[in-house]
Amino acid sequence: MLRSVLPNWFFGLSATLILLLNTLVCGALVFVLGLVKLVLPITAVSELLHLAYGLWCQGNRLALKVGCEQVNVNTPPQVRHQGWYLLVANHISWLDIVVLSANQALPAPKFFLKDELKYVPFIGTGAWAMGMPFMKRASRAQVAKNPKLKGLDVARTKHSCRNFRQHPTTVINFAEGTRFTKVKQHKQQSTFNHLLKPKAGGTAFALEVLGEQLDGLLNTTIMYESKNEHICRSFMLGQLQSVHVDIALIDIATVPQGCYQQDKQYRVLFQNYLNTLWQNKDKQLSQLYLQYGKKGTEINKETAPL
């Protein structure tokens, strides 16, 4: 009703302010509680920490509701709020984090984040306090110069995933490792129309550590319908028409599991498994973009600042 009266920029500005205030307040609270937890590693502090994190998720939900005309999230009813899940998703925009954290049907979402984000105030410090893994992949040349860098991501991932055992969690991994753009797609020589090549390591390590505790794998597809090719800018201007999130629950017993780092045969098997998921996801995105009159490859470009 209000959208027919007030201009789009009003909703975009309101949603952006909600996100900023939510991140500042809840991020600072989570960080302080994280410091307290270092001194007093007791259950009560941990519960307060997750309560503050839950408030951040609720704030994101409100911002998304204000800033987007329509949010369509398909979550299987079998997903339990008190369970443990591993979620793999495509990565289009920074807004993906807000979208996934706003899903109240999921247990507390914990993200695999780029190492650079740990230096971002409130966001990085809050993620550190929640024990989320920061991924810093070393190139072959860097490993050759400093062999200690080999396997560093593995150790970080395993350490963080062990901490996730203490509280119902959705471990979220953007398997592509970075946001989709046409330039990155061309550089990778990706065979997918709307996706980059998935990286299997982080997902496999999470499975290795949490496999017996996980209730399922959540294969998630994200798509935006926007008047502007820059998704975050579109959100801030109130021009984001809709968000579509489709989550498929896969029985964890059907997911290949093993030692990814040491077993070459399993490594190939799991890479093929993830590639098959991505092939099906690419087809699904093609159908969604066709349905909503969008060309997915034009949604995000390398020139996008956000």
Cβ pair 306, 229 in contact under 8 A: no
Helix and strand tally (H, E) in the chain?
10, 8
Evaluate whether residue 158 is within a structural domain. yes
Residue length of the chain:
306
Burial 276-298 (b: 16+ CB within 10 A, else e): ebbeebbebbeebbeeeebebbe
Mean pLDDT across 255-262? 88
Q: How confident is the model at residue 255 (pLDDT cuts 50, 70, 90)?
A: very high
| C-beta neighbour count of 253 within 10 angstroms | 8
201 located within any domain: yes
CATH of the domain at 233: 3.40.1130
Q: What percent of the chain has pLDDT over 70?
A: 85
- What is the arithmetic mean of pLDDT over 184-206? 91
Residue 142, in any domain of the structure: yes
Residue (of 47, 103, 45, 54) closest to 74 by Cα position: 103
Domain assignment present for 32: no
The answer to whether residue 255 sits within a structural domain is yes
Burial class from Cβ neighbours inside 10 Å (0-12, 13-18, 19+) for residue 82 reads: exposed
Does a structural domain hold residue 83?
A: yes
pLDDT-derived band at 1, boundaries 50, 70, 90: low
Q: Is residue 167 part of a domain?
A: yes
Total domains, the chain: 1
How many Cβ atoms are within 10 Å of 37's Cβ, its own excluded? 16
Q: Which two tokens stand for residue 218?
A: 């959540």
> Mind listing the pLDDT tens digit for each residue in 272-302?
999 999 999 999 999 998 887 554 434 444 3
**Quick one: pLDDT at residue 150?**
58
Query: What pTM does this model have?
Result: 0.85
- The yes-or-no verdict on residue 213 having pLDDT over 70 is yes
- pLDDT surpassing 70 at residue 157: no
φ, ψ (nearest 5 deg) of residue 114: -65, 145
Q: Mean pLDDT across the chain, nearest whole number? A: 85
Q: Is residue 2 part of a domain?
A: no
**Predicted local distance difference test score (pLDDT) of residue 17:** 97
Query: Rounded CA gap, 200 and 68, in Å?
Result: 32
| 200, pLDDT greater than 50 | yes
pLDDT tens for each residue of 128-155: 777 777 766 555 565 567 666 555 566 6
Domain encompassing residue 223: 70-298
Work out the average pLDDT over 95-117: 87
